[in-house]
Chains A and B, each alone.
Chain A
Amino acid sequence: MSVEKLIFEKSSAGRRAATFPVLDVPAIDFLPKESRRASALGLPEVSEQDLVRHYTRLSQRNIGIDTQFYPLGSCTMKYNPKVNEDMAARDGFRNIHPYQPDSTVQGALEVLYDMEHWLAEVSGMDAITLQPTAGAQGELTALLVAKAYHDSKGRKPRKVLVPDSSHGTNPASASYCGYIVETVKSLPDGTVDLEDLKPRITEDVACLMMTNPNTVGIFEKDIPTIATWLHAVDAQLYYDGANLNAICGVARPGDMGCDMMHFNVHKTFSTPHGGGGPGSGPIGVKKHLLPFMPVPRVTRQDGHYALDYSQPQSIGRIRTFYGNFGIIVRGLVYLKSFGGDGMAEIGKQAVLNANYLLALLKDTFHSPYGDRCMHEFVLSLTDFKKKNDVSALDVAKRLADYGYHAPTVYFPLIVPEAIMIEPVETESKETLDAFAETLKKIMLEDPAVLHAAPVNTPVGRLDEVGAARNPIVRWQP
């Protein structure tokens, strides 16, 4: 395969794609000399055709849900319906400014208000804010809400508890906003070790962050007990919504005793992940936390929608404006396409697909958490590693040769040589069958072939250590 040059390497002075009409007002000298830029801009100069060819070719060096099965565990890579894109692209949504008077953006405010209602009903929470831009920012927002709540009671708990199977963002968000992080052990069955947890729950605990089903795909059935323990010391139970897809329409975090949670609209509600964003990470809370939610709040009175900034106990703003509006539109289209009557199909089909794929693979691979799962499952390749020196990474790379995106590997950290597979509900039985066949076939291949993989991709295995040791992070002439 040929290397695709950088756009800068296709540049030639004086070329350009976009042109602008002649200036139709008198030109004056508005910029004082001392404010003027002297250095070159360092931008490429290319024709429109070269620009189109370049980025089209780059796109062809990338795989997405539209081109390949993408069983990336914990990421819920479900099909992104095209109607979502069309609706978000409507002029009345794209070309409105966030500071327009409320009277000129009633439709946009209704979208926000409506989305809050849908998320509250699906989750069983009392109030929603759509402001957080991504899941991690949702976590941070919720932890700050908890902080403000405890402050209001004159309490200063310092600790946040996280299970050892949790997503990295949980402990990172907690320490990022000034909490001490304490890790809770898991049992061999993958659930939180209640004996390890109980003594840790003291008056000094602000919050426990749980993912349910957890990251190994097991439902934490003791969650109501855990909630009771936490509430006895006025600590908050946080629900990490990364795995909400498993229970969507079947069970609700709000009914499990959770006080606050985030949603990943870009996972559960099908908005595309954009190669690493934009996402949208709304949070939901129970009533007692409502006064501390970020401003503005969207209100409805006599059929008129408005933004309300008068929340004296609010933590303030977590970002500018009102959230990733364009993503929220897409998420709302998706939710409405299922409706109250169809919501349970999401969770049910996701769990069916995951269990089916696990059934196809459990005799070939070690499944540390048994033969049932929720929406995803984790396999361990320790046996292959010992026997053939074949690692989870080798298998991930080899899958690319057969036209699949890799599952998540080496996560969660508690499983050695982990492969985490989330097949999602939108995939057909035929796709799952073919994937399982391929995976089994790969395990019979010569280990040398796996070590050399991938060979059918635009580039072969890349030197990540070298990249970090000698960072080249920009093009230079």
Chain B
Amino acid sequence: MLQAIGVASIDDLFMSIPPALRLKKKLDLPLHLTEMELKDEFQRLSTQNLSSGKLDIYLGAGVYDHYSPSVIRHLLNRSEFYTSYTPYQPEMTQGVLQAIFEYQSCICGLTGMDVSNASLYEGGHAMAEACLMAKAKTGRNRIVLSAGTHPEYVQVLKTYTFNLETEVVLAPLAADGKTDLKALQALVDEKTAAVVVSNPNFFGVLEDGQAFADAAHAKGALCIAVVEPVSLALVKSPGEFGADIACGEGQSLGISPSFGGPYLGFLAAKMALVRQMPGRICGQTTDNRGQRGFVLTLQTREQHIRREKANSNICTNQTLLAIAATIYLGAVGPQGLTEVATQGAQKAHYLAGELAKIKGVKLSYSGAWMNEFTVDLGKDSGPVLDALQAKGILGGVALSRFYPERKNEILVAVTEVKKKAQLDKYAAALKEVLA
């Protein structure tokens, strides 16, 4: 090969790098490992983590432990899917493109929207992009959210907009855990680009989406709905309550928790907003043989064509996770998804009922909820959660993680994977810890 190139050594090919810039020192890194050694090393690392097989985990807060049927992993392991790049050459990548088209159709169906993109990074990013869409569409700078928005989503929005003259304001919650609608309406003005509802909200409580949409539209703003896709099997969809954009985290659709990623940000909107939509969109077309086929479309929105005039900088997204979600939705179907949503909610309500029987424990809010609830333990949650952990239970997310003043409260999530015996074990353990 060197002869064909016309050089004496590989080092000669690096002549264009000035000698002063070439690495001379030895890298301060260990020696290479063979596959057998790698397996030892990563077994050591992975077994230091206590997974849901070793602990009963009741953590949610945007990430949920749902059952993922075997078929999903098997199909995702088709390496024609996972070793391919973004489908720039559609004739060679019809498989990925058609799967994206099916994904977009599923997301439109669930949310009641007209058009979905091919995925975003994760839920917080999807909400930030939705707000930027609203800013671009309305030419306004104010974003009104509920104090029931996931606190990390608000942080992401603030980071994304910190050089963009954007005003981010939060409407407080009422005593029942729903957003105080009077306070919300007072914050929405003629400078407001978007009013954002999270349904259910971070504390698990269901909101009145219609009231958010009405408050937005009364002032010419857009309504953005941050929704949990499994709950949409039962709960009114963004399309039904008049939202303009729907977005959220798709992890609950068969994707493992994996310590925070990779996940799936989904984003769908009314057709009038398609030009503001960021990222890849797959469209149907025909080929020169008259057959149906799929391509990436409306690309004049995107960075590889428009550079600094693009409506977003996103390039790589989370396509494989979008395919995972599509296969999951195909596996469970409408009946299965309804069952997943129902079982989680029923089991959560059963657990909440059992916990509320314990002296000193009460639910924080009276508003209706699905499979996640906020509970006040009557004393500092830290030592209580530690004591539960010693009994093999991660009892919930301490609200003090996000709100230092809320020392006694925890957020508890239950999904279909929990059995009644486990729920009873949790209630008994908490009773013992608090006694």
Q: Shortest distance in angstroms between A461's beta carbon and chain B's nearest beta carbon? A: 5
Question: In the bound complex, do residue A320 and residue B32 qualify as a contact, i.e. CB atoms below 8 Å apart?
Answer: no
Contacts of A98 in B (CB 8 A): 63, 257, 259-260
With the chains together, A93 CA to B256 CA distance in Å? 10
A56–B323 alpha-carbon span in the complex (Å) = 12
Please tell me the size bucket of the interface on A: 35 or more
Among B10, B67, B280, find the residue whose CB has the most chain A CB atoms closer than 10 A: B10
Pair A31/B163 contact, Cβ less than 8 Å: no
Known contacts: A31-B235, A133-B121, A277-B318. The answer to whether A356 contacts B1 by CB under 8 A is: yes
CB–CB B312/A172 < 8 A: yes
Task: With A63-B80, A468-B297 as known contacts, state yes or no: A90 contacts B260, CB within 8 Å.
Answer: no
Is residue A153 within 8 Å, beta carbon to beta carbon, of the partner chain? no
Q: Is B122 an interface residue (CB 8 A)?
A: yes
In the bound assembly, the distance between CA atoms of A218 and B110 in angstroms comes to 48
Quick one: closest B residue to A457, CB to CB? B91
Query: Per a CB cutoff under 8 Å, which of B10, B85, B95, B293 touches A276?
Result: B85
Q: Which of A171, A315, A351 contacts B162 (CB under 8 A)?
A: A315
- Count residues of B near A (Cβ-Cβ below 8 Å): 200
State A165–B340 Cα separation when bound (angstroms).
50
A191 closest partner in B (C-beta): B16
Check if B330 sits within 8 Å of A7, measured CB to CB.
yes
A352's nearest neighbour on chain B, judged by CB, is B10
Which residues of chain B are near A221, meaning CB under 8 Å?
16-18, 21
- Tell me, yes or no, whether B298 is within 8 Å of chain A by CB: yes
| B108-120 contact mask (Cβ, 8 Å, vs A): 1 or 0 | 1110101110110
Shortest Cβ gap from A84 to chain B (Å): 9
Q: Is the CB of A405 within 8 A of B92?
A: yes
- 0 or 1 for each of B356-384: is its CB under 8 Å from A? (1 = yes): 00000000000011100000000000000
- Asked whether B49 lies within 8 Å of A92 as measured between CB atoms, the reply is yes
- The CB with the most chain B CB atoms within 10 A, among A30, A250, A326, A473, is that of A473
Q: Which residues of A contact B165 (CB under 8 A)?
A: 178
A397: contacting residue among B2, B91, B234, B259, CB under 8 A: B91
Any B CB within 8 A of the CB of A237: no
Of B6, B17, B46, B297, the contact of A471 (CB 8 Å cutoff)? B297
| Residue numbers in B under 8 Å from A179 (CB-CB) | 163
Output the nearest chain B residue to A93 by Cβ-Cβ distance. B46
Any B CB within 8 A of the CB of A311: no
Q: How many Å lie between the Cα of A91 and that of B65 in the bound state? A: 13
A348–B338 Cα distance when bound, in Å, is 55
Q: How far is the CA of A39 from the CA of B285 in the complex (A)?
A: 28
- Our pick among B63, B156, B330 for the contact of A51 (Cβ within 8 Å) is B330
Question: Looking at the complex, which one of B10, B79, B88 makes contact with A66 (CB distance below 8 Å)?
Answer: B79
| Residue in B6, B42, B208 whose CB lies within 8 Å of A329 | B42
Cα–Cα distance between A359 and B6 once the two chains are bound (Å): 9
Residues on A with C-beta less than 8 A from B42 are: 87, 90, 329, 333
State the CA gap A223–B16 with chains docked (Å). Answer: 12
Chain B residues near A324 (CB, 8 Å)?
A: 261-262
Nearest A residue to B33 by beta-carbon distance?
Answer: A336
B158, B300, B319 pick with most chain A CB within 10 angstroms: B319
Contact partner, B368, options A32, A52, A463, Cβ 8 Å: A32
Which residues of A have CB within 8 Å of B61? 99
Q: Would A320 and B283 count as touching, CB distance under 8 A? A: no
User: Does B139 belong to the interface (CB within 8 Å)?
Assistant: no
A209 to chain B, nearest CB (A): 11
Q: Are A3 and B291 in contact (CB under 8 A)?
A: yes
Residues of the B chain whose Cβ atoms lie less than 8 Å from the Cβ of A95: 51-53, 65, 256-257
Let me know if A385 is at the binding interface, CB within 8 A: no
A48 to B340, CA, bound (A): 18
| Central interface residue in B32, B233, B368, by most chain A CB within 10 Å | B32
Interchain CB contact under 8 A, B71 and A52: yes
In the complex, whether A23 has a CB less than 8 A from a CB of chain B is yes
* CB pair B299 A343 closer than 8 Å: no
- Beyond A320-B263, A468-B283, 4 additional contacts (C-beta under 8 Å) are A42-B105, A175-B308, A396-B89, A473-B284
The 6 A-B residue pairs whose C-beta atoms are closest, nearest first, are: A42-B109, A321-B260, A339-B32, A62-B95, A92-B46, A274-B320
Q: What are 17 A-B pairs with beta-carbon distances under 8 A? A: A16-B332, A17-B332, A18-B69, A41-B109, A55-B78, A58-B98, A62-B84, A64-B84, A67-B83, A320-B150, A321-B122, A338-B32, A351-B10, A397-B91, A400-B92, A473-B101, A473-B297
